[in-house]
Every structure is written in structure tokens, then in C-alpha cells.
Structure 1
């Protein structure tokens, strides 16, 4: 089950609120960042056909937007797992009568990981210690496929859609999502994560459009910036990767990292910290698959939740040693040039 919302259809349905002179998200990118190539993670969310068509289905009418999330498929249950992409929630409704489990993603600092997440979350493999990032080192990793096809809305439209817990009933009605459903639980938890207070040393913001993500990121690191995402040659199962020569540090100690959330349209949880280092790491899988992976290393974790996924996986204490993680393919890091 996925949230699939075509920005083109949504734009047509709500075009009356958009000025003819308004720039499209892509035009805004080129206007603010004229010399910054657009990473694949952004292209996919602007142009869904850039990747293989996943069967998006959207019905617009009656003042609402109905997102077809694939109900009625064989198997009897609904399963949503965006933890492998750091999307912030994992939902499994199973068969009728079974409970719904909602787990926060591993890339938000103030959340404690559940025991289930520690054992089953694909993000577990993405955490490592900075001292272990060197040529010829090996790591067992799984870079999951970009299967979440909810795309960007133009800012002029996104700004007119509420995004707060106290407006949840109105939001669910607008997207024809049934209260109490798995979809509603996902949307509720994404909003809740965005409303959580930032931790010490963190500057956070949830971007509900590409334009707002650009504005937040450039306000923190300047307009002379570039954006980059992890790219994997092809999809593979979990396997051993070897770090190739040329681990490259990017942008000093200042960056903005934006994590894709699971929602009816593209929402990114962005945070900036002065205690991070970003690297581009070239990897080669056991089957020959090559990857250019973005690694983020946190040099001060003292304010993180002591039960954060990283501490449980790496068996270290908060604030003791730099902790790193690779970014999934649909996350973005902004670096000053």
C-alpha cells in the first residue's frame, strides 16, 4: 500500500488557487539554484515517469482528492513499511483483528527504537562508526528501492492544505482517508513527528513542498549550495559491500539533511546541525553492483534519546563517539559548495 498522488492531477484540480505567474517547483529550483544539478531523488518526485510506473491512481472531484492505496489486493492484509527508507513510520495491519504497529524512523534523534525495530528495521544496517569508514572496509547493507511515489505539490497548493494535528480530521477528509485506517495512522504520525520539539543543537523543519525545502536549506547554508542523494546502480537484496578508494568529505561541518516521510504527498523532515560531517562513499557490492552513497556522521550525539536505534545497534553511549549512517536513496543532503 502506498500513498500515490500525481502532482499534475492535483495541480489541475486546484489550479484556481495558483497564479498564472507562479513558478513551477522545477522552475523555482533553477531560479534559486541556477548552477546546482537536481539529484535523482528530487527528479523522481517531480516526474514520476522518471522511474518505472508504479500504477498511480488518483481520483479528483467533489472538492477532495481520493488516493487509491491498493486496497483489495490478494492477501487480505495491508502492509506499509517505509522504515527501510527512513520514512518515519512502519505500519502493519495484518489480518482483521490484529493490532497496528507504528514505529518512528531511525533518523530522528529524539525517538527510542522498539525491540521490533532493532531486529527488523532495514535501517539497522545503515548505521556504523566513523572509524570504520575507510577503503577496503566491508559492510552488509541493503539500499531499498524507491517505492513510495507520493510526489511534490506546488507550494501554492501545499500552503492551502492544513498540516497540523488539530486539523487532522479536515486533512483526512480532503484526501478521502478513513479515520482510524492505516493510512490515517501514517499521516497522523508524520504530522506528530514534525510537531515534536527539536533537540539541543538541531534546527528542524518539515518541508511540504520542494520550494519550502529549498528555502529552508539555503537559509541555513547559503544559496551557493548543492544537493545530493545516494544512488545505487540497481536494486539488490542485502549483501556485503566494500568501500572503494576515494572517500570524499563534502561541505565542511555544516549541512542540512532532509528525510523523506510517508504522507499523501511529498513531505521532508529536514534538520541542520553544526556537528555533522557529510561524505560521498563509493561502494561495490559482492555481486558487482556499484553505489555512490551519502554518509552523514554525527560528532555530538549527547542530546539524542539514549534508546535511539543507533545506540542499540552499535552498543555505544550517547556523546561518546561519532556515529554515521548512509542515507537511503530518497533522502537528500544539502552542502555548501
Structure 2
């Protein structure tokens, strides 16, 4: 799950921003074995069966999250991207290998020194660009078990060192896009309005949550 949107011009040492580094709130945090995951329906047309299988009330928050995740997984990927919702670790790794045309890969993620840290001001103390022109980003979704929405991207990515007001050290992943897009069109319109820029005019960056993964060739 991407969060903490900001303009690329702010991505430099000395910049201070208010952030809350926490894990994506997922109902099921463990991957299912490949054979088990492949045997379970994952389609909006099978929603009653999915909810019944996991004993989820149709009017519950969990049901809403399941519906939203499947809808996002069924949406067409952005132009020039490959995408997949991985319902098993094996499918995620296979997609990363396919998307990057290599079996020699490394996975990166955001790391926070404290298990629980408050929303607070963080100051950027350093950054390095990820040396890769092609990447696969996998974002944790809210679902009954571990599901990651993965997609290929050529957006530049960075490892960013931050220090919180309470001293918490964070090594965060950030990616910058010329055009941030998503399923909730109105939400992104509000985002651009809040940032004070027009879509596609300047790079907009975001941090990755601790549960997200970024894959690159070694």
C-alpha cells in the first residue's frame, strides 16, 4: 500500500514530513500454499462463494475489503505495465521473474527500527537511487489471506533514510511517478489538488509500507 505522497522536489536531505510507518492492515497475513490458493475462487463473479468459504458476513468490513481487493485486481493495468495479484509466495516470485526476465533477483522493503512507532515528524537524512531501470512492485492488500498486487514499473525508486522526532530510524522505499493513478479516481484528484499540481506535470512520490516488496535484478 502506497502512502505519504509528496512532490519529488521534497526528496532531499533536510526535508521534514509527518508520517506514520505502520504495517498494512490485512485480515490474513500469511500466504497459502500454491495448491491451496489456486483451488480457491478469486473472482468478483464468485463473491458469495468466497465470503461463505471464509464465513464472512456480506455486510462486514472484511467483506468490503475483499470486494475492493478483487475489483482492484480485476482492473486493467496501466499502459505498458504487466500486473498480477499474487495469492501465494510462489506466484509472486514467478511473476517477478517473468516481469524482470531474470531468476537472479533481490527483494527490498521498508524497515522501521521500532516495532511500533507513532505518527510523527521525520527528517530525511540521506537517500540513494535504486540502480535498476525496471522493477516489480508488490503491494499488500486487505484480504482473508495474504494477497499482493504486483506490477512492473519503470518509475525511479529510492532508499530513503529518515529519523523520527523520537529518534526512530527508518530505511524507507520510495517511488516517483509522473502520473499517479489508481482505482479511486476522485481520491487521486483530491491528492493532486492537495499537492497543488496538475496530473502529469511533475513527479509525485510515495513511500512503501513495511509489508510491500520491491523486486529488482541483482
Which TM-score applies when normalising by structure 1?
0.59
- Residues 172, 149 of structure 1: CA spacing in aligned structure 2 closer, same or farther, 3 A cutoff? closer
> Is the aligned partner of 1:193 residue 2:72?
yes
Which has the larger displacement, 280-289 or 129-138? 129-138
What is the alpha-carbon distance in structure 2 between the residues aligned to residue 127 and residue 250 of structure 1?
Answer: 19
Q: 1:329 to 1:319 in 2, by over 3 A?
A: same
Kindly provide the CA deviation profile for residues 286-331 of structure 1, in whole angstroms up to 9, marking residues without a partner as x.
1111000001111x31876575154233121111111110111111
| SS of match in other structure, 1:135 | coil
- Structure 1, unpaired ranges of 5+: 1-85, 87-106, 108-122
Task: Please tell me whether Structure 1 or Structure 2 has the larger radius of gyration of its CA atoms.
Answer: 1
Are 1:264 and 2:132 matched, yes or no?
no
SS in 2 for 1:293: strand
Could you say which residue in structure 2 is the equivalent of 1:165? 44
Shift of 1:146: 5.3
1:310/1:255 CA distance change after superposition, 3 Å: farther
Counterpart of 1:311?
192
The 8 Å contact of residues 306 and 318 in structure 1, kept in 2 or not, is answered as no
Task: Tell me the CA shift for residue 193 of structure 1.
Answer: 1.0
- Cα displacement (A) at 1:223: 1.8
Q: What do residues 93-149 of structure 1 show as CA deviations (whole Å, max 9, x unaligned)?
A: xxxxxxxxxxxxxx4xxxxxxxxxxxxxxx3xx111122111122121111245536
Q: Which runs of no fewer than 5 residues in structure 2 stay unpaired?
A: none
- Aligned match of 1:243 in 117, 124, 130? 124
1:137 and 2:15 are equivalent in the alignment:
yes
Identify the match of residue 181 of structure 1 among 57, 60, 69.
Answer: 60
> Which aligned pairs between 1:1-337 and structure 2 lie closer than 5 A?
86=1, 107=2, 123=3, 126-145=4-23, 148=26, 150=28, 151-221=30-100, 222-234=102-114, 235-245=116-126, 247-274=127-154, 276-298=155-177, 300-301=178-179, 305=185, 308=188, 310-337=191-218
Q: TM-score, structure 2 length as denominator?
A: 0.89
The alpha-carbon distance between structure 1 residues 310 and 218, as it changes in their structure 2 partners (threshold 3 A), is farther
Distance 1:141 1:250 in 2: 22
CA distance in 2, matches of 1:229, 1:311: 26
